[in-house]
Every structure is written in C-alpha cells, then in structure tokens.
C-alpha cells in the first residue's frame, strides 16, 4: 500500500504537469499522511537537515562562478580559441560549438548554463551562415550536456555527497568520458556538414603562432580548471572551497582584467544565481524527503534484489540499469534522479564489482542524455528559447546526436578504464 501510494501519486502529479520538486514533496506527504504513523513535519525536517551540508555548498558557488564567467567575457575568448583550433574544418561553426561547449563545461559545471552561454553566440552565427536552424540548436543542446561530465560538474558533487564517494575522484573521472562524447559529437557534425556542404569558418591554416596567440587571449579562462583541480589534488582546498575560489577568480577577471563586469552585471549574476539555486535546493531537499520514505519502506533493497535476480552477469545488469536510467531521465530532472536513485543503485552495482566512481560517471552520463530527450529535455527548451526555433524541429534534428550519445554511453559503461584511470593516478 505504501509503495503504491508513493509511486502512484508521483506519476499522477507528473502527468498533471506538477513541477517535479512539488510532485516529490506531495507524494511523500500523502504517503506519510495515509499509510504511516509518522508526522508530516518529518518532510521539512529531512529537507532542511539534508541541505545543512558543507559539500553541497559547492553547487551554488560553481553556478555563480559559471554565470560570472559568462557575463565577464570568458565565453567570447573561448570561442575565439575554438575557432582557431577547429574552425578550418568542414562545418567549422559546428566544430567550434562542440569545442567551445567543452571549454565552457570546464568552468560552469552545468548543462543548461553551457547551452545558454555558447548558444547565444553560436546558434545565430550558424543560422547566418545557412546552417540548418534545427541542426544548430540541436547540436548546441547536445554539446551542452558535456557540461555535467567534464569537471567541475554539479551532478558529480551531488553524487559524491550522497554516495560517500570522493568528489575530487569524480571530477577526474569525467575528463576522458567528456572527451569521448565531444569527439563523437564532432564526428556526427562532420558527417552532417559534409552532406550539406557547410563551409569552414576560416580558410587560414592552423599555425603554432595562431594557436599560441589564441591560447594567450584565453589564458585566464583556461587557468580555471587548472586552479580548481590543481588546488583539490594539491591538498590546498576542498571541492567546496575550490568553488568559492572560482567565484572570486571569476569576479576579479571579469572586473579588473576583461573589464566587462560592472556593478549591473555583478548584480544580475547574483540574482540569477539565487533564483537558480533556490529551485535547485528545493528540488534537492524534497527529493531527499522522498528518498527517506523509500528507505523506511526498504524499497531500495527490494529493487536491488530484483535487478540482481535478473542475471549474474555484470554486463546484463549494467544494460538493464542503463535502460532504466534512460527512461527515468526522460521524465525526472538530473538532481532529483541522483538523490532518489543513487542510494538504490549504488549498492547493487558495487555488489557485482562495479567501481563506485565508474558508476557515478555511468549514472550522470545517462541523465545527461535526459537533457535532450522529451518530454523533460531541459537543454532542448533552453536551446529553443535562445534560438527562437520551435521545439518540435529541434527534437527531430537531435536524433543523430542522440544516437551518438547512446554509442558513447555504451563505451563509457563497458570500458571502465576511461573513468577510473585518472583517479587511480592520484590514489
């Protein structure tokens, strides 16, 4: 009865288009009120105590750092560097978009933020050069998902906190998978560009001098991941402290070096960060309340036993989990899914010998695909808003990129060395 009430009410609220955070909270409320002897105040207690976490403070600070970087002129310089590196290729603007998203991912930690920052420049540029408008928006939406794979990654912070896994190890684990995804998207972009005769951005040859000049112009942006990861692995500061350092660094560069951050931009950045983080923290708090009810009813144990009963093969179990996560990602946002599913699935995969760090990458990579799959598809909505292109057209154009994302997911899942090699070097 408890399980039916919890999940039945959740799916009903989702079908009624109730915001996911409210749906999770209401489901927990109804379940407590009608099927248990607990007081409903336990929901707020669990929500608030869950947010009283030092590691979780990294999330708002990384978000603010990314916003400050976007408004402080960093995006433009990263685009200039990407243009020098890959702009000479067939479909140059498409290649620049992927590489720029990869660079911006290393300073923002957020998929939608990457789409908004890079898409505002690149989608109009691709439309002007007669690239298909659906293609331009779909590529940017997909490439933006790299923002949650390449460090620093906000979902990795959350997974590390919930699963008691080193956030620093998770950051390193995302580097090679992020590069694999980027390469896959560039291959698809090249094939589509070749078919449609999308021209290069420039006919100038790539020379060491041009690359060196572009790197020098973007040096302050490129130093950010070096400072963050170097500081963490050098034992200078924790991931949360690294996020604060990133905010201070972003403000100094934007105000005093690039001189593109005035008081208005700083104020707008703070307001935007507060609004985003309010919704994020509400989702996290109510998701944890929902997860608490599941734990009381031993639902994670029941699901774990069911999954392991399907097969003794690690290959089959990971395949089943991937299919499950891909479906979940279509309906539930990344943060809620991480909070609810990590306690359920992590014990299952560790039982069959999967490294917790490797599984964290698998989990986030699956949910990153949810950014570009309807009906939730947050990156699709952001790309549609930035480009003013109907969502339906973007959804059709995203299919080739979605197929490549599934291929890279398969590689990430069954080649664990991609995720575990770099972290193993620092143990």
Per-residue pLDDT of 353-409, as tens digits, reads 899 999 999 999 999 998 898 877 888 888 888 888 888 889 899 999 999 999 999
Say what the pLDDT of residue 400 is.
95
Structural domain boundaries, residue 287 = 40-425
Say what the pLDDT of residue 183 is.
95
**Is residue 322 domain-resident?**
yes
**Is residue 5 domain-resident?**
no
Q: What is the pLDDT averaged over residues 330-346?
A: 85
pLDDT at 414 exceeding the cut of 90: yes
Say what the pLDDT of residue 331 is.
76
**Is residue 90 domain-resident?**
yes
Alpha helices in 197-238 (DSSP H): 208-217, 219-233
**Is residue 238 domain-resident?**
yes
Say what the pLDDT of residue 360 is.
96
3-state secondary structure of 416: coil
Within 8 A by CB and 6+ apart from 392, the residues are: none
pLDDT at 88 exceeding the cut of 80: yes
**Is residue 8 domain-resident?**
no
pLDDT at 415 exceeding the cut of 90: yes
Say what the pLDDT of residue 380 is.
86
CA–CA gap between residue 124 and residue 101 (Å, rounded): 16
- 138 pLDDT band (50/70/90 cuts)? very high
Say what the pLDDT of residue 332 is.
79
Q: What is the pLDDT averaged over residues 282-296?
A: 80
Hey, what are 376's tokens? 């939730």
Hey, what are 93's tokens? 């603007």
pLDDT at 203 exceeding the cut of 80: no
Lowest mean pLDDT among 9-18, 30-39, 290-299, 359-368: 290-299
Which of 121-135, 160-174, 228-242 shows the highest mean pLDDT? 160-174
**Is residue 288 domain-resident?**
yes
DSSP state of 89: S
**Is residue 21 domain-resident?**
no
- Each residue of 223-259: b (16+ CB within 10 Å) or e? ebbeebbebbeeeeebbbbbbbbbbebbbebbbeebe
**Is residue 13 domain-resident?**
no
CA–CA gap between residue 388 and residue 425 (Å, rounded): 45
19-38: per-residue pLDDT in tens?
A: 777 888 888 888 888 877 77
Within 8 A by CB and 6+ apart from 424, the residues are: none
CA–CA gap between residue 106 and residue 123 (Å, rounded): 20
Say what the pLDDT of residue 417 is.
96
pLDDT at 91 exceeding the cut of 90: no
Structurally, the chain folds into a number of domains equal to 1
pLDDT at 159 exceeding the cut of 80: yes
3-state secondary structure of 152: coil
319-335: per-residue pLDDT in tens?
A: 999 998 998 888 777 88
């Amino acid at each position: 009865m408890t399980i039916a009430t919890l999940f039945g009410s959740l799916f009903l609220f989702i079908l009624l288009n109730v915001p996911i955070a409210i749906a999770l909270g209401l489901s927990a409320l109804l379940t407590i009120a009608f099927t248990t002897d607990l007081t409903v105040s336990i929901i707020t207690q669990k929500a608030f105590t869950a947010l009283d976490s030092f590691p979780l403070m990294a999330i708002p600070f990384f978000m603010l750092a990314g916003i400050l970087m976007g408004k402080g002129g960093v995006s433009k310089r990263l685009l200039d560097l990407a243009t020098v590196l890959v702009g000479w290729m067939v479909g140059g603007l498409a290649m620049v978009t992927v590489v720029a998203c990869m660079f911006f991912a290393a300073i923002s930690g957020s998929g939608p933020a990457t789409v908004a920052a890079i898409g505002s420049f690149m989608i109009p540029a691709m439309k002007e050069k007669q690239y298909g408008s659906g293609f331009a928006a779909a590529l940017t939406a997909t490439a933006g998902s790299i923002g949650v794979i390449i460090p620093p990654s906000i979902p990795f912070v959350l997974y590390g906190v919930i699963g008691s896994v080193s956030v620093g190890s998770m950051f390193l684990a995302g580097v090679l998978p992020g590069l694999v995804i980027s390469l896959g998207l560039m291959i698809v972009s090249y094939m589509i560009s070749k078919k449609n005769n999308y021209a290069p951005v420039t006919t100038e040859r790539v020379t060491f001098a041009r690359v060196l000049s572009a790197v020098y112009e973007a040096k302050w942006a490129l130093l950010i991941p070096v400072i963050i990861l170097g500081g963490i692995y050098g034992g200078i500061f924790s991931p949360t402290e690294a996020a604060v350092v990133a905010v201070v660094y972003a403000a100094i560069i934007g105000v005093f070096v690039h001189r593109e951050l005035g008081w208005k931009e700083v104020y707008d950045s703070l307001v935007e960060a507060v609004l985003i983080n309010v919704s994020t923290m509400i989702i996290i708090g109510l998701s944890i309340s929902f997860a608490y009810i599941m734990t009381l009813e031993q639902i994670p144990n029941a699901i774990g036993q069911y999954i392991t009963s399907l097969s003794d093969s690690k290959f089959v179990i990971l395949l089943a989990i991937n299919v499950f996560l891909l479906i979940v990602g279509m309906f539930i946002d990344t943060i809620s899914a991480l909070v609810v599913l990590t306690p359920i699935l992590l014990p299952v995969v560790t039982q069959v010998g999967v490294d917790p760090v490797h599984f964290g990458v698998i989990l986030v990579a699956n949910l990153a695909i949810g950014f570009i799959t309807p009906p939730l598809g947050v990156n699709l909505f952001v790309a549609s808003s930035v480009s003013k292109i109907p969502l339906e057209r973007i959804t059709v154009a995203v299919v080739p990129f979605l197929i490549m994302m599934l291929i890279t997911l398969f590689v990430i899942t069954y080649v664990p060395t991609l995720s575990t090699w770099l972290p193993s070097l620092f143990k």
